[in-house]
Amino acid sequence: MTPDVLCRPATVSDMRKIAQLMQPLVDQNILLGKEMVVLYESVQQFIVAEIDGEIVGYGALHVMWEHMGEVRTLGVIDRVRGKGVGHRLLTALEQHALRLGLSQLVSLTFEVEFFRRHGWRILPDAAPVVAADVYAELLRSPDEGIAEMLDLAHVKPNTLGNTRMLKTLRPAAAGSAPAAAGAAPAAVAGSTRENAERARDERLGDED
C-alpha cells in the first residue's frame, strides 16, 4: 500500500535532520556534502516529505534565471525507496517552480531513469543550458551548483558520472528561452568557455 506522504516547505528546525539523512548519500558520492551554514542559508529552497510526522525525503529548488530553476539535493531514505516518495517530492518541486513563474528545470543526477519517467530528457554534453547572453550573466553567480550545471572546469570533479537533464514545464516567455539543445556551445563575447570562466574569476577577484 502506498503510504500517506505529506510534502511541505522545510523550516529551520528541519535542517539538521536533512543533513543527517543526506549523509549516507554523501558517503556514497551520490550527493555533495553541504556545510550547515549553507543548508540554513537555503532553507527556503527545500521541501521535505513526511510519513506519520517523520521526515523521509527532501529536495530543493534553486532559481537560476527568470525562466529556469535547478532541482538539487533530492533524496529519500532507503526504507521508503520505491514507494512513491521521490515522485511526490519531484512533483511538489515542479509545482512550486510553476508557481514561481519558471518554465524550465534542469538537474544533475545519477538517477536518469527516475527523471525520464517524469518527463525529463538528457541534455547532450555539448548542448548549452541557456542562451549565450544568459550564460554570461550566470558566470557572475558565486553559486557552485550553477557552475556545475554550466560544466565549468573548476567544478568538474564534483560532476563526474552525473547526467544533465532538463524538463520544459511550459513555453518560455518571449526573450527568455534557452538556446536549443544540440546547438553550438554557448560563447561569451566571442571567447571560449575557458576564457569566459577566466573573466568570471577576474570579476570575482575585483569584488573581494
**pLDDT exceeds cutoff 70 at 7:** yes
What angle (nearest 5°) sits at the alpha carbon of residue 113, between those of residues 5 and 61?
55
**Are 155 and 147 in contact, with CB atoms under 8 Å apart?**
yes
At 146 the pLDDT is: 83
The least confident of 9-18, 132-141, 151-160, 190-199 is 190-199
99-118 confidence digits (pLDDT tens): 999 999 999 999 999 999 99
- What's domain 6-207's superfamily in CATH? Gcn5-related N-acetyltransferase (GNAT) (3.40.630.30)
169-193 confidence digits (pLDDT tens): 987 665 554 444 433 333 333 333 4
User: Residue 90 has which C-alpha cell?
Assistant: 519531484
At 3 the pLDDT is: 75
31-67 confidence digits (pLDDT tens): 888 899 999 999 999 999 999 999 999 999 999 999 9
At 37 the pLDDT is: 96
User: Residue 107 has which C-alpha cell?
Assistant: 538537474
Question: What are the domain boundaries of the chain?
Answer: 6-207
* Cβ within 8 Å of residue 33, ≥6 positions away: 22, 23, 26
Where does the pLDDT of residue 207 fall: very low under 50, low under 70, confident under 90, or very high at 90 and above? Answer: very low
Distance CA 167, CA 42 (A): 23
At 194 the pLDDT is: 43
Looking at residues 148-152, what average pLDDT do you find?
Answer: 73
At 162 the pLDDT is: 82
Where does the pLDDT of residue 128 fall: very low under 50, low under 70, confident under 90, or very high at 90 and above? Answer: confident
State the CB neighbour count (10 A cutoff) for residue 47. Answer: 22
76-94 confidence digits (pLDDT tens): 999 999 999 999 999 999 9
Which residue in 142, 55, 147 sits closest to 108, CA to CA? 147
Q: Count Cα atoms within 13 angstroms, Cβ side, for 3.
A: 21
pTM of the model: 0.77
What angle (nearest 5°) sits at the alpha carbon of residue 97, between those of residues 81 and 133?
120
